[in-house]
């Protein structure tokens, strides 16, 4: 996750990092744990490691809940701004894969 804003309670652990890609596992220990407000500087893919929900706080006071399935990835382009919160009553994790080089 790039360009971090506020400090969150979720913990990221970088698994792979090189000139092209960064892979981070994000772990949310309890309900409400969050990443902190941030803006993604790179395109990225998220692979959930759980069935459940994340809550998103977005610019302009927008809040939404997204349902996720284990192993079903989603893609987002650079520029996304949000704070991501654990919307479950259990610990959860996801893998974030950032593409550090710009599109060809």
Structure confidence by residue, pLDDT tens digits, 52-89: 999 999 999 999 999 999 999 999 999 999 999 999 99
Backbone torsion region of residue 62, taken as left when φ is above 0, otherwise alpha when ψ lies between -120 and 50, otherwise beta: beta
pLDDT of residue 49 exceeding 90, the answer is yes
Asked if 46 contacts 56 with a C-beta cutoff of 8 angstroms, the reply is: no
Distance separating the N- and C-terminal Cα atoms of the chain: 21
Residue 26 makes CB contacts below 8 A (sequence gap 6+) with: 1, 10, 11, 12, 35, 84, 93, 94, 95, 96
pLDDT of residue 4 exceeding 70, the answer is no
| CATH number attached to the domain at 11-99 | 2.60.120.10
């Amino acid at each position: 996750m790039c360009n971090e804003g506020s400090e969150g309670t979720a913990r990221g652990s970088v698994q792979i990092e090189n000139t092209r890609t960064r892979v981070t596992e994000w772990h949310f220990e309890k309900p409400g744990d969050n990443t902190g407000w941030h803006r993604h500087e790179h395109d990225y893919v998220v692979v959930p490691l759980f069935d459940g929900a994340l809550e998103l706080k977005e610019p302009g006071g927008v809040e939404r809940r997204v349902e996720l399935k284990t192993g079903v990835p989603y893609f987002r382009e650079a520029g996304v701004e949000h704070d991501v919160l654990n919307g479950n009553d259990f610990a959860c994790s996801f893998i974030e894969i950032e593409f550090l080089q710009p599109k060809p």
